[in-house]
A = this chain, B = another copy of it.
Amino acid sequence: MTADAAYAELIQRTKEAAVLASCGAVLGWDERTYMPHDGSAFRGDQMALLARLTHEMSTDPKVGELLASIEGTSLVANPESPAAINVREIRRAYDRAVKLPKELVEELARVTTRAQQAWQEARSKNDFPAFRPWLEQIVQLKRREADAVGYKEHPYDALLDEYEPEATAAEVRKVLSALANELVPLIAGIGQSNRKPGREILERQYAVDAQQSFAKEAAEALGFNFRAGRLDVTTHPFCSGIGPGDCRITTRYNPRFFNEAFFGVLHETGHGIYDQGLVAEHFGTPLGTYCSLGIHESQSRLWENQVGRGRPFWEHFYARAQKAFPAALADVRLDDFYFAINEARPSLIRVEADEATYNLHIILRFELELSLLTGDLKPADLPGAWNERFTKMFGLTPPDDRQGCLQDIHWSMGGIGYFPTYTLGNLYAAQFMNAARNQLPDLEGDFSRGQFGRLKAWLNEKVHRPGRSYRSSELCRRVTGEGLQHGPLVGYLREKFGRLYDL
């Protein structure tokens, strides 16, 4: 078999596994939007079968043989050629997948499914001891996963690698520490400021219908293509890029709080614009796949925060908001509204946090994950460790575990290593946005006229179309001239909150 023929078959098999996985994405979307109540157990059977078949396809020894007969040939001699990129990344995923014993994969699937239910119950009853044995099992299993995959320095690296290829705990720790050092005084300054926004503005009556059409209008203006997508209601909002021509975002509406649905939609819109910006013909192969979770998150944060919580955006949209919600906003000035949606203050819940304090929530989780994985922190001691660090960082103590270490679903899903990608997203978003402002004159002028096409086209070209051609830090270097940095995010936050809080 020639390398060309082997490559063609490799790509066909890779795409086929991706098509099968995408069937699971449709079922997953349906499960979280329209599936009838009693369908849940059977949906579990369907998802498990699709996951098993997809895994079998991806770990078929034939894939290894095909890779071996391509590697080292002239077809992949140029490391920047499409074939070389695809082969390198398929090899990476294949090696990781075959290193994991089937028994461990199934055990993880079984335990995390049940642990999520246990977590849900434990959270609602504020009963950490009920969740503790599950967390213990999960930490052990993830540690076994890390050992099976292998790592140079820290077992965490092996887990992080799944979400943020080749990033390491040491690198992440370095940038997060630098970030924390700058954020703590900034947040203290905000706390001491005499200026306070009127949060009550956002807690007036916002009719769900009007929220829906206003959010859809904004998503469409930013560039989400509704002929190739949808917006539906769910409990825990997400974006699902099912495949070419089919990307779905979701939200939930709170008739007494403006931010929840609106900024949620902008966030998912950012994910959606990324998915819609991937190259369709490469669907299912690394060239048509997102770069990393950090980069994916950079796109949601960029549109949600850098654009959607910016003043220029509201210079265009505020009159429309007043029209959509006359009872709530008729008597509110743009500046007051703008200040209210950008209120910064230490709070207990990560998903409700503002742009400035948000990253401290991530740093806390990242540090705890590291200690859990090495065994320096026992799961039984998690609530105490959480509350102690939280108090130190935020000057607030969680009154219960529900508002402390039980608030997030991630650990129950086995997602140790996932949290830092949120802050990586914030960091990359600030870096990308600085570069965009430099390269596209008067970009904020566009926003104030409701025009987002130049920014979207720039992101499509620079960030989306390369797919998984580069590691996230390398992509960042190519787009901005620099690797991952904490400076741009700090600069952006200082400038924005300095102005709002008169620091």
Interface residues in chain A, defined as those with a beta carbon under 8 Å from any beta carbon in chain B: 16, 19-20, 22-23, 26-27, 30, 34-43, 45-46, 49-50, 53, 225-230, 232, 242-248, 283
Contacts and interface: CB of A to CB of B under 8 A. Distances in A.
Contacts of A227: 36-38
Q: Which of A39, A43, A230, A232 has the most CB of B within 10 A?
A: A39
Q: Which of A40, A43, A229 has the most CB of B within 10 A?
A: A43
Contacts of A26: 26-27, 30, 46
B22 A246 contact: no
Q: Which of A16, A36, A226, A228 has the most CB of B within 10 A?
A: A36
Given A16-B49, A23-B27, A50-B23, A42 B246 contact: yes
A227 B36 CA distance: 6
Contacts of A50: 20, 23
Given A42-B244, A245-B42, A228 B37 contact: yes
B246 A34 contact: no
Contacts of A16: 49
A435 B111 CA distance: 51
Nearest to A43: B246
Contact of A246 (B19, B36, B53, B246): B36
Contacts of A43: 246
Contacts of A230: 34, 36
A243 B39 contact: yes
A460 B245 CA distance: 42
A229 B34 CA distance: 10
A385 B232 CA distance: 49
A229 B37 CA distance: 8
A71 B437 CA distance: 75
A283 to B, nearest CB: 8
A270 to B, nearest CB: 18
Contact of A34 (B27, B34, B41, B283): B34
Nearest to A230: B36
A37 B53 CA distance: 28
B35 A246 contact: yes
Q: Which of A23, A27, A35, A53 has the most CB of B within 10 A?
A: A23
A101 to B, nearest CB: 23
Contact of A245 (B22, B38, B228, B245): B38
A227 B242 CA distance: 27
17 contacts: A20-B49, A22-B42, A26-B27, A30-B30, A34-B230, A36-B226, A36-B246, A37-B227, A37-B245, A39-B228, A39-B243, A40-B245, A41-B245, A42-B242, A42-B243, A42-B283, A43-B246
